[in-house]
Amino acid sequence: MHRGRRARLRVDRRAGQSQLIALAQADGKQVWKADLGPFKAQHGPGASPIMEKGEVILQSSQDDPGSFIGAWDAATGKQLWKNELKGGQHAIFTPCFLAGKDGLQIVSLSTDNGLLGLDPATGKSLWSIPDIFKLRCVASPVITNEGMIVAQCGQGQAASEIQVIKGAATKQPAKAFEIVRIGGYVPTPIVAGDLLFLWKENGTVTCTRSSNGEQIWSERVEGPYYSSPICIGGKGGRLYNVTRGGELVVIAAADKFRLIQRFPLNEKNSYATPAVSGGHLYVRTYSQLISIGK
């Protein structure tokens, strides 16, 4: 990304100031740094940067005015565009991309701004659904195989509302259906084929049809959880998640519930979502980074 070197990105917060930093993958040296300004929220920044065609896109949502979504040149750190957003109800999520009729769209959400579709090249608003969320937006939006947006909000251990939106790809968004109570608050839903899996903090996992929200099964997988599930192998493969108590849990990504395995990582306070790269599963616990073989 810079002088032929690949780089990784991180968001940092120091003394109320937030920064977007690019580091060289080879040696960890700083390539560039962008100051994002003051940040105020109960839990600190929660969004991760996403990338598209050499742009780094990041949303910063906070309790006070100053919320925004912006893009920076991945090679130099130069700011390309920035859209100011309403602040007040801190949202902790990462935007996603939706394949639209005229190219990719950024899908953004928050209690204060509703659901938004933005042009990645300019930040221009393509469509919006204001006032769609009553509760806090923590989980990230996901896209079904039918091209619908799954947008979740919640509060505490019980309250959850999921709005499923159709038509956004053609800039004509409309509610397809909603799912109440059985969804989660912090863990992001996940799609595997025509199945949509909802994972609550208390460990209740519910499998539904992604096309209409029809419930197929609901089972308790002992938790609690703050991390989000990932899927390896698509429908018929496996879902992986990590409990707050430090156990890696594996269940079947199928229309019949099956607990495949759970084993301890010997570390409590584990909140991070697992990641996959190069045939390895990486799990970050409170003080360790664990690589699980191919």
Supply 80's token pair.
Answer: 């390309």
Q: Per-residue DSSP letters for 38-50?
A: E---SS------E
Domain ranges of the chain: 199-294
Which whole-number Å values give the CA distances from 127 to 23, 28, 101, in the listed order?
Answer: 34, 39, 13
Retrieve residue 115's tokens. Answer: 């659901």
**Gap between the Cα atoms of 151 and 113, Å rounded:** 13
- What is the C-alpha to C-alpha distance for residues 259 and 280, in angstroms, rounded to an integer? 21
CATH of the domain spanning 199-294, picked from 2.40.128.630, 3.20.20.70, 3.40.50.2300, 3.30.470.20: 2.40.128.630
Query: Quick check: helix, strand or coil at residue 38?
Result: strand
**pTM for this entry:** 0.91
Instruction: Decide if 246 contacts 267 (C-beta within 8 A).
Output: yes
Q: d(Cα 219, Cα 255) in Å, to the nearest integer? A: 12
Instruction: Tell me which residue of 167, 169, 161 sits closest to 185, measured CA to CA.
Output: 161
CA–CA separation, 153 and 161 (whole Å):
5
3-class SS at 168?
helix
Print pLDDT tens along the chain (294 aa): 433 345 566 565 544 778 999 999 899 999 999 999 888 887 777 889 999 999 999 999 888 788 999 999 999 999 999 999 988 788 889 999 999 888 999 999 999 999 999 999 999 999 999 999 999 999 999 999 999 999 999 987 778 999 999 999 999 999 999 999 899 999 999 999 999 999 999 999 999 999 999 999 999 999 899 999 999 999 999 999 999 999 999 999 999 999 999 999 988 889 999 999 999 999 999 899 999 986
